[in-house]
Amino acid sequence: MAELSTLARPYAKAAFSYAQQASDLAGWSAALATAAAVSQSEKVRELLDNPQLTSDQRADKFLSICADELGDSGKNFIRLLAENHRLVLLPEIFELFETLKAQAEATLDVEVVSARPLSDAQAQQLTQALSKKFEREIHLHSSVNESLLGGAIIRAGDTVIDGTVRGRLAKLAEAMNS
């Protein structure tokens, strides 16, 4: 998996740099999301793996599916990826692009999984606390997992905060055993 992100990184940086210069981060984000989704289709995967097709044919077939969602620069990007046999990297390119975009916009998507739905006051208080901790604008996405005894699990980028009752009990047991 690390190899794919290593291969995808220069393309994501180039796309991000171009989108930033064109002041079109949102447009490129949407275009890459569409292209990444298309590239993950089973039939498209077969098309991309077909050794009988040339790079131009792969690009043309790929663009015939999603050309309406891509501007001229997006189409050129797809052609470049096809030429370099990198269309399969589109999901990784999209993820890396989104990371770069979030860093540039100083935003952070945070997922909160709790035992019960968060009230508006709780969500606002959590957003403010996380915003202060990470020094970024927080976009909170919450969901409910009733199998949790209580508390919540917070995922913010690479950081995971386990505030569940089960997690606390596990920490207590570990402390008692050591």
- pLDDT, averaged in runs of 10, over the chain (178 residues): 80 93 90 91 85 88 84 90 90 93 84 88 88 85 86 83 80 83
Q: What is the pTM of this model?
A: 0.67
- Residue 96 and residue 81 share a domain: yes
- Report d(CA 148, CA 115) in Å as an integer: 5
- Report d(CA 48, CA 168) in Å as an integer: 47
State pLDDT tens for residues 45-72.
888 888 888 889 888 988 888 878 888 8
Average pLDDT, the chain: 87
The half-sphere exposure of 5 on its side-chain side, counting CA atoms within 13 A, is 6
- Residue 118 and residue 91 share a domain: no
Which one of 38, 71, 102 terminates a domain? 102
Report the sign of the C-alpha dihedral through residues 128, 129, 135, 138, in that order. negative
Which one of 79, 102, 125 terminates a domain? 102
Runs of H (alpha helix) within the chain? 2-21, 25-39, 42-49, 55-66, 72-83, 90-105, 120-134, 165-177
Which one of 102, 124, 143 terminates a domain? 102
- Report d(CA 151, CA 144) in Å as an integer: 11
Structural domains in the chain (count): 2
Range of the domain at 56: 2-102
Q: Which residues contact 78 (CB under 8 A, 6 or more apart)?
A: 35, 59, 62, 63, 70, 87
- Residue 86 and residue 152 share a domain: no
Query: 35: which 2 tokens?
Result: 């292209």
What is the CATH number for 7?
A: 1.10.520.20
- Residue 83 and residue 149 share a domain: no
- Residue 171 and residue 91 share a domain: no
CB 125 within 8 A of CB 64: no
State pLDDT tens for residues 29-48.
999 999 999 989 888 888 88
What is the CATH number for 119?
A: 3.40.30
- Residue 137 and residue 65 share a domain: no
